[in-house]
Chains A and B, each alone.
Chain A
Amino acid sequence: MTAQTPNSFRNQPDERGHFGQFGGRYVAETLMPLILDLETEYRKAKADPAFQAEFDDLLEHYVGRPSPLYFAPRLTEELGGAQVWFKRDELNHTGAHKINNCIGQILLAMRMGKTRIIAETGAGQHGVATATVCARFGLPCVIYMGATDVERQQPNVFRMKLLGAEVIPVQAGAKTLKDAMNEALRDWVANVHDTFYIIGTAAGPHPYPELVRDFQSVIGREARAQMLSRTGRLPDVLVAAIGGGSNAIGLFHPFLDDPSVKMLGVEAAGYGLDKDHAASLAGGRPGILHGNKTYLLQDADGQIIEGHSISAGLDYPGIGPEHAWLKENGRVDYTSVTDVEALAAFQLLCRTEGIIPALEPAHAIAAVQKIAPTMPKDAIILANLCGRGDKDIFTVAGHLGVTL
C-alpha cells in the first residue's frame, strides 16, 4: 500500500502553480522574476515557525480570532429544516474576512524587504483591510479603486484615507474592480524594486491563489475544530459566497478531504443568468486574465465582459482558479443567487438573528434558505458569514426605496 493519499483535493497547485488546467503565471516578463522570488520566499515563510507564530499572534490579538461558530436558532426554525450555523468572520477587526489575508501578505512583504504596499479594491473592503495593516506596520499604501466605485463607496474611501492610504481613482475601462486590478498591475510593473502587491482574493498569478487560500484557511480550520467540539461531528454542507472566492476557499479547503462534507459555492446571478450577472462559473468559459487561467465572463473573441451584482464585492468577471478546478472535478457544487434573492436573505437574517450581514454573505444565506427546508432537522449547514453589512446599508436602503 502506498502512503500517499491518491484522491486528496488538498495538494494543489502543482509545482508550476497549476490547479489542473487552471491557475498558472500569465504575467508580463517584468513581473516574472518577482513572482518567482515571492514563491521562494513564501515557501520559506510557510516552513518558518517564527512566521507562523507572528501570523497567529496578530490574528488572535489584533484581528480577534478565533471568530465564533454560531448556531442560528430562529433562522433554523423559520426555514424548518436543517440546523443553520454561521462562521462569524464578520466579527473580525475591519468587519470581514479580508484582514486575515492582509496580515499574512504584509508579513511576507516585510520579510522580502519591500517598503511600499499597493492593492486594488472594488467595494473597498480589501482596500480598508490593506490600509489597516499598512497603518499597523507603518508602510506607505496606495489603493487603486475604479472611479465608479469611488463614487459608490465614499464611506470606505474616507476610511482608507483616515488610515493613511492614498486612494487613486482609476478612470480606465469601466472604472470598476477589474480596471483597478489592471492599474495596480501597471504600478507594480513600474515599481517592482520596492513594491509589494497585496492581492485581495484567491486569484492572480501563482503563488497568490495558494498563499491567499492558505492565509484564509484559518476560517475552515477553526470552524472544523469548533464544530467537532460543539457537536461531535462534521457539518453536512458548507455554504459560502463567491466573487473571487477567498472566503469560500478559506472555509472549504480544510474540509476538502472529508468525503461526508458537501460544499456549495454561491455566485452572484445579478439581474439573472440570462441578463447581466457576475457568475463566472455558471455563465463563463475558461480563459486568461490577471495572471491566471480560470473561468471568465467573455465574448466569442475573448474580450472580457463586465460583471454585475448588487454586491460590489462579487462584481468581478473571473473567479479564483482553485474554484474552477473544484467545479470541473465535481468536489464542490456551485450555484447562483440573484440580487433580489440576496436582498431578501439580507433582511431575513436581520429580522431572525439580529445580524446585519454584508451583501456578499447574503448570497450564501439565500442559498441556505433554498436548501435548508429540503434537509432533515438533524442535518447541519455551516455558512460563512464573511462580512458585516454596515457598508451596505445605503445600497440596501436605495433598493428598498428608502432615502437616508
Chain B
Amino acid sequence: MSARLTAAFAKGHPALVCFVTAGDPTPAATPAILDALVEGGADVIELGMPFTDPMADGPAIQAANLRALGAGTTTADILAIASGFRARHPDVALVLMGYANPMTVRGADWFADAAAGAGVDGVICVDIPPEEDAELGPALRARGISPIRLATPTTDAARLPAVLDGSSGFLYYVSVAGITGKQSAALTSIEEAVARFKLTADLPIAVGFGVRTPEQAGPIARVADGVVVGSAIVDLVAAHGAAAAGPVRALVAELAHAVHHARSVAA
C-alpha cells in the first residue's frame, strides 16, 4: 500500500479528501484546480475519471462528467493530468475514482501499469464490489496501488470483512444510502457506523457523500479519520469554469481548517 496514503492519515489530525472531475471544464484547466486543492490544504486528492454513465452520482457530478467528456477528455488526458500532478506534488496522495468500464477497457494490467506510471496511490472503482475483485484488484495490488473500497449504511457486520479484504489505503464510508451530493446523514448515525467499522477495520475511515460545508465537515472529522468533499467543489468548478482555482482554494482552506482542527475545538 502506498506510503503517501499512509502518511496522509498520520499527520496528527483528520484528513481532508477532495474530489474533482478530471477534464472539467477542460483538461487544460484541471491542473490549476488540483493545485488549488493542495494549496487550500487537502491531504488526499481524488481525481474523478469521467464516464458517460455515472450511475452512483447525483446531478452535480453527472454534469461535471458530461462537461469533461464534452471537452474531449480522454483516458490519456487523465493520466497526463495525474503525471503532471505527481511531478508538481511529490508527497500528496492521489487517488483515481471512477467506473469499471473506462478502467478495464484495455485490460486491468494496462490500467494498473498506466496508473502506477502516473504516480497514482489508490483507485476507487464504484461498480466493482468485492465479489468482482478479480476484475481489477490483483492488478492494482501487484503494482502497490491501493484498491479503496466503499462501505455504506447497508454494509452490515457480516459483510464488512469481505469489503475490507484486499483493500488498503482507507475505507470510504458512504454515509447515506444514495448518490453523491444529495442529502447528508445525521452525525449520530455516522458516529455509530464509524465505531462499528472500527471494530473490524484497521484502516483509516473517511466519510463522504453529502458533506458540503466546514460546518458539516468539522463535526464529522471529530468522529472519523477523514472527510471527503466532492459535489461542493464540483459546483464551484461549474460556476467558475477555468477560473475556478481561486474560489476552490478558498473553500478548501475553510474546509481544511474545520477538519484539521476539529479535535482541538470544544464540541
Contact = CB atoms under 8 A, between A and B. Distances in A.
A33 B159 CA distance: 8
A186 B53 contact: no
A192 B99 CA distance: 21
Main secondary structure of the interface of B (DSSP, over half): loop
Interface string B138-171: 0000000000011111111001000100000000
Contacts of B149: 29
Contacts of A32: 129, 131, 154-155, 159
A302 B104 contact: yes
Interface in A15-60: 16, 24-34
B150 A28 contact: yes
B29 to A, nearest CB: 19
Contacts of A173: 52-53, 62, 66
Contact of A182 (B54, B150, B159): B54
A27 B127 contact: yes
B250 interface: no
B110 to A, nearest CB: 11
A303 B179 contact: no
A300 interface: yes
A16 B131 contact: yes
B102 interface: yes
Contact of B178 (A26, A29, A189, A300): A189
Contacts of B128: 26, 288
A14 interface: no
B179 A190 contact: yes
Interface residue tally on B, bucketed by range: 35 or more
B126 to A, nearest CB: 5
A16 B150 CA distance: 20
Contact of B55 (A193, A285, A290): A290
B247 to A, nearest CB: 26
A29 B150 contact: yes
Best-buried of B58, B104, B154 by chain A (most CB within 10 Å): B154
A274 interface: no
A367 to B, nearest CB: 30
Nearest to B56: A28
A27 B132 CA distance: 9
A33 B154 contact: yes
B155 A29 contact: yes
A172 interface: yes
A263 to B, nearest CB: 28
B177 interface: yes
Nearest to A285: B105
B129 A300 contact: no
Interface string B35-55: 000000000000000011111
Given A182-B53, A189-B177, A190-B182, A26 B154 contact: no
B62 A29 contact: no
A288 B127 contact: yes
Contacts of A293: 135
Given A32-B159, A182-B54, A303-B52, A26 B129 contact: yes
Contact of A25 (B104, B129, B178): B129
Contact of B101 (A16, A172, A190, A302): A302
Given A33-B156, A185-B55, A27 B129 contact: yes
Contact of B152 (A29, A288, A296, A298): A29
Nearest to B183: A190
B69 interface: yes
Nearest to A304: B52
Nearest to B73: A301
Contacts of A301: 74-75, 102, 105
Interface string B117-139: 00000000011110110010000
Nearest to B149: A29
A186 B179 CA distance: 6
B101 A298 contact: yes
B154 A30 contact: yes
B178 to A, nearest CB: 4
A104 B46 CA distance: 42
Nearest to A185: B55
B100 interface: yes
Contact of B53 (A24, A178, A191): A178
A287 B105 contact: yes
Contact of A288 (B56, B74, B100): B100
A27 B131 CA distance: 10
Contacts of A164: none
B22 to A, nearest CB: 12
Contacts of B182: 190
Best-buried of B51, B126, B132 by chain A (most CB within 10 Å): B132
A291 interface: yes
Contact of B177 (A178, A192, A302, A303): A192
A158 B22 CA distance: 41
A290 B154 CA distance: 20
A193 B69 CA distance: 34
Nearest to A33: B154
A27 B100 CA distance: 10
B177 to A, nearest CB: 5
Nearest to B105: A302
Contacts of A191: 177
Contacts of B155: 29, 32-33
B59 to A, nearest CB: 8
Leading 10 A-B pairs by shortest Cβ distance: A302-B105, A190-B178, A302-B102, A288-B100, A302-B101, A30-B152, A29-B150, A304-B52, A301-B75, A33-B154
5 contacts: A30-B154, A32-B154, A173-B66, A192-B154, A301-B105
Given A189-B178, A287-B105, A303-B69, 11 more contacts: A27-B127, A28-B55, A28-B127, A29-B152, A30-B154, A32-B154, A32-B155, A33-B155, A179-B53, A182-B53, A185-B55
